[in-house]
Amino acid sequence: MTLHLGDEAPNFKASTTLGVIDFYTFLGNSWGLLLSHPADYTPVCTTELGRTAQLHEEFKKRNVKAIAVSVDGIDDHYEWIKDINEVKATSVEFPLIADQNRMVSTLYDMIHPNASGTQTVRSVFIISPDKKIRLTLTYPASTGRNFNEILRVIDSLQLTDNYKVSTPADWNPGDDVIISNAVKTEDAISQFPKGINEVKPYLRYTPQPDIE
C-alpha cells in the first residue's frame, strides 16, 4: 500500500512496550510522529531513538506524540531501550511497536524489497490530528534522520494550518513567511498588519504572524 500526502493514516492495533495500543486512540487529538527502524540493536537507530527521547519536551510543546516500530519482538525492545537510555543519557517513554509479523510495516509501505526484503527502511510519517498524512520521508539504512528538520516541518505545518501563509526555502521559526497567492494584496494589508514586502506580485513576504 503506497501512502500519499493527504491520505488518511491507516489505523492499527499492535503490541508495544507500553502495552497493546490502538493507534488512533493513542494519538487522540495530538499530532503523530511515526518512525520505522530496520531492527533492534542497530547503531544508527540507537542514536535516533535516543534523540527522540531527548526531544520529549519539544514534541510535547507542539502537541506531538512519537511512536516507533521495529520488526523485532517486545523482549528485544525492552533490552534495547536499556542500551538507548544508557548511550544517550535519556529515558525512552514513547511506545516501541513490536512488528514481527510486518503488519504495520506493510500497512505503511516501510519494506522496500530492493533495499531489504525483511527490514524496514527509515521512514518518517507526520500525521495531523485529523489523522491525515502530512509528511513522508524515507532515509537509507546508513543515514540517520535530521530531527531539527523534523521539528522545523512540524512548526511549518502547524503555522500554515492556522494562517494563509507558506514557508520559504531554509525557513526557521521566526523568519519571514510567504503570503498565500489566494490572498489579494489589498486584503493582505489588513490580514497581515506587520507589513508586506512584495518582491514579485506572486512573492510577498510578511513577518511570522503568530509572534508578538
The structural domains of the chain, ordered by start, are: 13-145 (3.40.30.10), 163-206 (3.30.1020.10)
pTM of the entire predicted model: 0.93
**Residue (of 55, 59, 67, 57) closest to 27 by Cα position:** 67
Rounded to whole angstroms, how far apart are CA atoms 4 and 46?
Answer: 28
Q: Is 45 tagged catalytic?
A: yes
Pairing of strands 13-16, 19-22: antiparallel
Write the single-letter amino acid at 24. Y
Rounded to whole angstroms, how far apart are CA atoms 208 and 131?
Answer: 26
For residue 202, count other CB atoms closer than 10 A to its CB: 9
List of the chain residues with pLDDT < 50: 113-118
pLDDT of residue 71: 87
Task: Name, in order, each residue with C-beta under 8 angstroms of 135's C-beta and a sequence gap of 6 or more.
Answer: 5, 124, 125, 126, 153, 157
Active-site position among 9, 27, 33, 45: 45
How is residue 132 annotated by DSSP? Answer: B
Query: Is residue 139 packed enough to be buried (19+ CB in 10 Å), middle (13-18) or exposed (0-12)?
Result: middle
3-state secondary structure of 138: strand
pLDDT of residue 67: 98
pLDDT of residue 118: 47
Rounded to whole angstroms, how far apart are CA atoms 7 and 26?
Answer: 19
pLDDT of residue 111: 67
Task: Name, in order, each residue with C-beta under 8 angstroms of 117's C-beta and a sequence gap of 6 or more.
Answer: 111
